[in-house]
Structure 1
Amino acid sequence: MVGWFKRTPAVALEMRGLSGGDVRWLVGLDHRIARELPGQLQAQLPGLVLVPLDHLKRPTPLVAANAKLSSLADPVRTDMTASVTAGLLEIMNTLKRGQSVVVQWVIGAKQSRRTKPEAFSIARALGLVAVVKETTDDRRLWKLKTAEQLFLVRGRIGARARSPESARLLVRRLGEALQLVSSSRAELWITRAIARSVHQLDQAESGNRWSGILNVAELASVVGWPVDGAGSSVTGRGRQYPAPSALTVPVDARDQRTSRVLGAGLHPSQRNQLVTLPVESALHHLHVVGPTGSGKSTLLNQLLHADVAAGRSVFVLEPRGDLVEAILAGVPADRRKDVVVIEPGQAEMVVGFNPLAGSAEDAEQRADHLLHLFRELYGTSLGPRSADVLMHALVALSRSNQSTLADLPVILTNAAFRRRVLAAVNDPLVLAPFFSWYDGLSEAERQQVISPVLNKTRAFLSRTAIRRLLGQASPRFALDELFQRPRIVLVNLNTGVIGEETSQMIGALLVTQLWQAMQRRAVTPAHQRHAVMVVIDEVQQYLRLPVDLGDMFAQARGLGVGLTVAHQHMGQLPPKMRAGIIANARSRVVFRPSAEDSSTLASVLGGGLVANDVSLLGAHEAYAEVLVNHRPSEPFLIRTLQPDGQALSDPTDLRRESSARYGVDGQALDEELRQRWNGNDARPDGRIGQQPRRTA
């Protein structure tokens, strides 16, 4: 407290640096203003967070010095704020073990002065020194200084080190950083650092005399606060907001069954706190952007481990296999039987799926979805006549109980097989007339129509592993199980083994079938729908549904499905997909992007972020934005947690168990296909494919 009777409450502002780059900004308040002042400060400084501290860590300096102004009236430089803060931070970020420093400013009563103050001089009072007349320049500078509220201030700096000499050197360096605000008329000078001044600094006393008078802008120049991003280039951090308190839990109180951990909070007020992504927020969908090596896979692994530990259903689709391997290693014993591994590269005991399987009522819808997928993947190379033939062939196969996608080339080239399928379907109004026309084409005409289809389908169906994956009429596993009971479905698309084009086809087929199974969940009462988490890495390659992306996200949310879509950079997304994901994924995690994406992603995250903020992200650091109580949070900083390296299961064993439970013997399946395509001709040398026309 200050004033004649110590009745005016004071405020102490400290910037403290500890070894290891630990920088803290402390605010000490008199109890009479502790209730109102924090709110006033936060109103003036958006993003400022004040956290009450019960146990304050304030190392006592070894030596301390006072900071004084040579003039009470003349202004100091306010254009050096960023430079002062950067200088102080540079010193604090290079402190060695056992070293600490502090810059303290005690702020006293506000000053309402109409006239320029003068320091008291006995010589002038006795008439021994002539009175200097006030000039126009003096009045201008005083008017400039009084344009903002004035305060009495007392400045001190202190340091602790292994020796007094080292501590004095640190004080001198701090003083040099502060002296950048000195102007031609008002110099900030630092007294000698001595041990006798430590007590006043430690107690934040104002003493008998003040260091000077500063207005608000001048005060901001010397306190070392990173206002307007000052100091970010030194700390390696961009603009920081704290994570919402509803998302934070102590490090030692993590509960995986109620929330999913995003990472450790990096805001200074949230040290030793983990930031979580609640299931309610996850059901409004998550968008993850990060180039290779940024920490994206670590985050996805982290979230999925929480889902597996909590007993939730998960579906994971990724192109490389590293994420699947990590998840398998973390499966606990009580969930081993829930694991389903789909890997297109396997040729024996293949866990397959049938995109054509389903009810007869939905046959046309399945055919539409598949035709849309072919058009998405192959574009204009699939002409109108070829698309027409493909559509009717898919409808015929979808209506047949035992048909698969592996039958597609056969129905177009094998007349006997085609007749058997059409006889089983029995559609005299649409399919029979169409294929009557088709059979009437000459050989050359037919080849011209079907060649584009055969070229595309044979590219992947001619491979043994893919044929066995897609040739199972009644697979032992159906994606509907994912929504009926807890299942862990892991799809490793093995891009390096089967090629990128085949990988895209298989992934898109699985996502399409997943979407159809998701829609069938609508008949289940809402209270019986357990949460299902779907993660699609490199989403741009596999999300090719014939529905508006906004409708898909909305329906998924209503059906209790949380989508996590991930990719490396924004340029990978087609414009419509990009707009749909940005608009409908209500939570977002952005790792350090490329220079081309920095401005875009800063704008998407909001909160006043600029390109430089996201460019300052380090490895495994990210900005996160989470939907909390139906409102997106401000973007806050996290660091993903590194895996502990402990394996709960052997991935090889889980793959073997999954294949034994859901796989089909490859050779037996080949024989089944041969018999189906050749009818009663079960001879080993039975013809497969187009049969020659009989001659009269």
Structure 2
Amino acid sequence: MNPEQGWLGRALLAPGSALADLTESVQQGLGSVSGLGVVAAVLAVLAAVRIVAEWRRRRLNARARQITVLTPPEVDAKGALAFWAHLIGQLRPAWARVLWGQPHLGFEYTVTPEEGAAIRLWVPGAIPPGLIERAIASAWPGAHTDTLEPARPPVPVAAKGVRRIVAGGELRLGRREGLPLSTDHSGDLVRDLITAADDLAPGQAACVQILARPVTGRRLARTSASTGPSGMLAALAREVLGMVTPGPITTRSSRPGAARDGRATDRQTTLEYTAAARAAAAKARGPHWETVVRYATSIPVSDDPEDTNPRAQARAVAQGRADALATVFGACTDHNFYRRRRRLRIATLIRQRRLGRGDVLSVPELATIAHLPTDTGLPGLQRAGARALSPAPEIPVGGEFTKPLGMADTGTRRPVAVKISDARHHLHILGPTGVGKSTLLARTILDDAEAGRGVIVIDPKGDLVTDVLSRLPSRMGDRVVLFDADSSAPPPCVNPLDIDRIGRGGMDLAVDNLVTVFHRIFHQWWGPRTDDIMRASLLTLCAQPGTATLADLPRLLTEPAFRARITHTTKDPVLRGFWDSYETLSDTGRAQLTGPLLNKLRAFLLRPFVRAAIAGGPSTVEFSDILDNGGICLARLPKGSLGEETSRLVGSLLVARTWQAVTARARVPAAERPDAALVLDEAQNFLNLSTPIEDMLAEARGLRLSLLLAHQNLGQLSRELRDGISANARNKIVFAVSPDDARDLARHTEPWLSEHDLSHLDAFHAAARLLVDGRNARPFTFTTRPLDPPIPGRAREIAAAARARLATSSPANSDTERTDPARDPRQP
């Protein structure tokens, strides 16, 4: 091919001629197109660009979420630097920015009289879930985040009958964006912002919004072009020459004839220029963000068109409040400063969170205007009560052979649980009323019931048992044993003196427990003589054929004929000596000795529920069957119905009977002992056994009984109980406690959780220190999971099934023969 025949060949041989030919061809092409067509083409291109931009904006903003940040008690001033530097990694590659755009964040301060000051982050759906939350937790340890869909705009909108006067604007850099703002000034800019918006009237609102997205290298190069290395080198050269060269220094700004004043002015200008160049060079280092700052205040007014004066007043108030917000940013003035710009429809701009072309800021500059306040005494600020700690990886998430506790309050909010083998070391649950203890207990009870593990629950308030009954599956009705002090139906009977049920070998333990329970509950009126009388009387009754009850004790002490029939068969010489000395007393002397015991017994036995449940004859329920065969024993003993002392006494006797059944497991090989649980709400009321608490907890672990000990504060425990539970209940779950208790409990959680954290936990929010395979894991925080809604009528259905089961399980023939009046010397 001849090169002269082609355009490339002509361009190589005769460049000027080829260029002229190309120009002529372009002019002819443009001449053939009408002017209207050019305009239409331009408009079409602009419309396409606008459509693509709107499509990208909607795609970026889809599935947006709003993160409310609760400020921790102590804020690290450098946390904002770490936060914004960490998020610079969200900058997309060039091809992704061209196709999909670059998502931006919204850092917002909102102040209303109703909710106080809130700090929120608006996050588009294009940013992965959980990323911002983890960055906040890393930058500000102890901060809490609550992620929701944006429910309402930052600035309230008008409602029916109420109009909104909105004033505000936009802050943009007043000089070249390559020059920096001040990042080192006294005070806290966020504190000043919140203070400027303080004292709002009801319905008013203030908002400062900072939109930011990472900046590309190309944009940063354009930003620093005017203050790049050449400018800085020239300034440095002039400064060096001024130092070594005598005589005046002239610049372009020098005026002819300006002798001494000119030299001073030139010198100052040079120094200022040099300082600006150095500051710009320092700003050019590191990552950068493109930002826009918007602010607005909203004042509600009446929608009455005739009411013009309040509307004018509201406009003046709104403008004054908005100016106060903008004035705060004057503290950022250095080589650069913020200049106000009035923007139409500022409320719409803030609501839509659009970020067009903004100002380039370095990470320190952005951290100066967008951070958590460091002032600990800032009023109205929504603060985090306690730091949130994620559970260690070895903490179970649930499943078989675990007890569920709740959900972790950090990260992915995974479930947390405790292994059954570790629960044998017992759970100590502490917290005041209304913080979530009963919810946690109810969930563990329902889980034990579902897993077929035996569980015994003693509830002195009644709500816990009611919650469990209303949520148990119907199929479990035949496993339930129910003690309900408010029910008119006959309760089951658990006779603490039914020795035949536990064996004669357990008589001494039964009597010791019974005497100790009375002694500890009535310790103010209990002396050694009362203790001696009760112990000898109970041993005498238990030594007789048949089944003794507590109702026989007053008759033994006050009826001579009944006492003679019982004691004449007593073979124990010590007991015979006691009764011989007792008979030598006068009636008055006997009354003085037995009075403290008898008045307590009568107050106890005069209640029909107590007499039927404790002194109603042979026991109709065996706690060993409940523990070994997956039974569910629910004892509802409200103090309002029984009285505080009676409720404590009945509950303590049930615990004593449970302990007797547990100690009988010692005859069973360890591998054959099924796991069971004893749940004690307000546990300090019922731990009144003769066995020391530390020995009881240690033995229960080996016998595979896990105790859940719940109460409100450490002051409820005696020194013996406090030391025993602290050392032997090794799984600690702490809800919000008083500062005094937090000081003692922090020994179990420091340095991860301080006493401040333990005393500032939210409702249904707890700190846990659990065992994992017998070893202490580090503490963590979690939230309890709410119970499922109660099933209407389920509580009555389960109670009816329990009564029907009780009616069919009447005492065996041997029991009937054992209580035959003809053979029982206790009968008249």
Q: TM-score, normalised by structure 1?
A: 0.71
Indicate how the Cα distance of structure 1 residues 248 and 380 shifts in structure 2: closer, same or farther if over 3 A, else same.
Answer: closer
Q: Counterpart of 2:547 in 1: which secondary structure?
A: coil
Provide the residue aligned with 2:776 in structure 1: 631
Match of 1:303 among 423, 444, 448: 444
Structure 2 letter corresponding to 1:355: P
Indicate how the Cα distance of structure 1 residues 396 and 477 shifts in structure 2: closer, same or farther if over 3 A, else same.
Answer: same
Counterpart CA distance in 2 for 1:211 and 1:321 is 61
Q: Counterpart of 2:496 in 1: which secondary structure?
A: coil
Shift, 1:239, TM fit: 2.9
Contact residue 243 and residue 275 of structure 1 kept, 8 A = no
Unaligned stretches of 5+ residues in structure 2:
1-85, 91-103, 125-132, 155-168, 218-227, 239-250, 254-264, 297-317
Shift, 1:506, TM fit: 0.7
Counterpart CA distance in 1 for 2:450 and 2:723 is 33
Structure 1 letter corresponding to 2:523: G
**1:224 is the counterpart of 2:332:** no
Provide the residue aligned with 1:113 in structure 2: none
Shift, 1:339, TM fit: 0.2
Shift, 1:365, TM fit: 2.2
Counterpart CA distance in 1 for 2:551 and 2:822 is 10
Match of 1:460 among 598, 604, 608: 604
**1:182 is the counterpart of 2:331:** yes
Counterpart CA distance in 2 for 1:344 and 1:327 is 16
**1:501 is the counterpart of 2:645:** yes
- Percent identity between matched residues is 26
Shift, 1:544, TM fit: 1.5
Q: Counterpart of 2:455 in 1: which secondary structure?
A: strand
Indicate how the Cα distance of structure 1 residues 88 and 436 shifts in structure 2: closer, same or farther if over 3 A, else same.
Answer: farther
1:4-41 residue CA offsets vs partner (Å, 9 max, x unmatched)? xxxx99656967569998945999xxxxxxxxxx9999
Provide the residue aligned with 2:361 in structure 1: 211
| Further displaced range: 309-318 or 78-87 | 78-87
Match of 1:489 among 633, 639, 651: 633
Indicate how the Cα distance of structure 1 residues 258 and 119 shifts in structure 2: closer, same or farther if over 3 A, else same.
Answer: farther
Provide the residue aligned with 1:262 in structure 2: 405
Provide the residue aligned with 1:538 in structure 2: 682
Q: Counterpart of 1:527 in 2: which secondary structure?
A: helix
Q: Write out aligned runs for 1:160-559 (5 A).
A: 176=325, 182=331, 189=338, 211-212=361-362, 214=364, 221-224=368-371, 234-244=381-391, 246=393, 259-267=402-410, 269-270=411-412, 273-344=414-485, 349-356=490-497, 357=499, 358-400=502-544, 401-422=546-567, 426-428=571-573, 430-559=574-703
1:408-438 residue CA offsets vs partner (Å, 9 max, x unmatched)? 222223344445545666323x222222222
Shift, 1:488, TM fit: 0.5
Structure 1 letter corresponding to 2:767: A
Counterpart CA distance in 1 for 2:678 and 2:197 is 43
Counterpart CA distance in 2 for 1:294 and 1:257 is 27
Shift, 1:537, TM fit: 1.2
Contact residue 455 and residue 633 of structure 2 kept, 8 A = yes
Match of 2:291 among 156, 166, 171: 156
Indicate how the Cα distance of structure 1 residues 637 and 79 shifts in structure 2: closer, same or farther if over 3 A, else same.
Answer: farther
Counterpart CA distance in 1 for 2:540 and 2:672 is 35
Contact residue 238 and residue 613 of structure 1 kept, 8 A = yes
Contact residue 343 and residue 351 of structure 1 kept, 8 A = no
1:248-303 residue CA offsets vs partner (Å, 9 max, x unmatched)? 99xxxx97755444344443x235x4444443454333333343333332332233
Provide the residue aligned with 1:76 in structure 2: 184
Shift, 1:46, TM fit: 5.7
Indicate how the Cα distance of structure 1 residues 288 and 41 shifts in structure 2: closer, same or farther if over 3 A, else same.
Answer: closer
Counterpart CA distance in 1 for 2:666 and 2:268 is 88
Q: TM-score, normalised by structure 2?
A: 0.61
Contact residue 586 and residue 632 of structure 1 kept, 8 A = no
Shift, 1:499, TM fit: 1.7
1:621-673 residue CA offsets vs partner (Å, 9 max, x unmatched)? 322314152324434141541432334x632233233233336999xxxx999
Counterpart CA distance in 2 for 1:88 and 1:579 is 52
Root mean square deviation, CA, Å: 5.9
Provide the residue aligned with 1:130 in structure 2: 266
Indicate how the Cα distance of structure 1 residues 454 and 437 shifts in structure 2: closer, same or farther if over 3 A, else same.
Answer: same
Shift, 1:543, TM fit: 1.6
Shift, 1:152, TM fit: 5.7
Counterpart CA distance in 1 for 2:649 and 2:672 is 33
Q: Counterpart of 1:489 in 2: which secondary structure?
A: strand
Counterpart CA distance in 2 for 1:504 and 1:615 is 29
Unaligned stretches of 5+ residues in structure 1:
1-7, 28-37, 110-116, 162-168, 687-696
Indicate how the Cα distance of structure 1 residues 490 and 514 shifts in structure 2: closer, same or farther if over 3 A, else same.
Answer: same
Q: Counterpart of 1:656 in 2: which secondary structure?
A: helix
Indicate how the Cα distance of structure 1 residues 445 and 395 shifts in structure 2: closer, same or farther if over 3 A, else same.
Answer: same
Contact residue 570 and residue 578 of structure 1 kept, 8 A = yes
Counterpart CA distance in 1 for 2:794 and 2:557 is 45
Structure 1 letter corresponding to 2:559: N
Structure 1 letter corresponding to 2:388: Y
Provide the residue aligned with 1:693 in structure 2: none
Shift, 1:476, TM fit: 1.7
Contact residue 537 and residue 565 of structure 1 kept, 8 A = yes
Q: Write out aligned runs for 1:555-574 (5 A).
A: 555-574=699-718
Q: Counterpart of 1:497 in 2: which secondary structure?
A: helix
Indicate how the Cα distance of structure 1 residues 95 and 421 shifts in structure 2: closer, same or farther if over 3 A, else same.
Answer: same
Contact residue 624 and residue 635 of structure 1 kept, 8 A = yes
Contact residue 386 and residue 450 of structure 1 kept, 8 A = yes
Contact residue 277 and residue 626 of structure 1 kept, 8 A = no
Contact residue 480 and residue 633 of structure 2 kept, 8 A = yes
1:597-626 residue CA offsets vs partner (Å, 9 max, x unmatched)? 5666666654565666556555x4322314
Contact residue 350 and residue 469 of structure 1 kept, 8 A = yes
Q: Which one has the largest radius of gyration?
A: 2
Q: Counterpart of 1:405 in 2: which secondary structure?
A: coil
Indicate how the Cα distance of structure 1 residues 108 and 397 shifts in structure 2: closer, same or farther if over 3 A, else same.
Answer: farther
Contact residue 80 and residue 180 of structure 1 kept, 8 A = no
Shift, 1:318, TM fit: 0.8
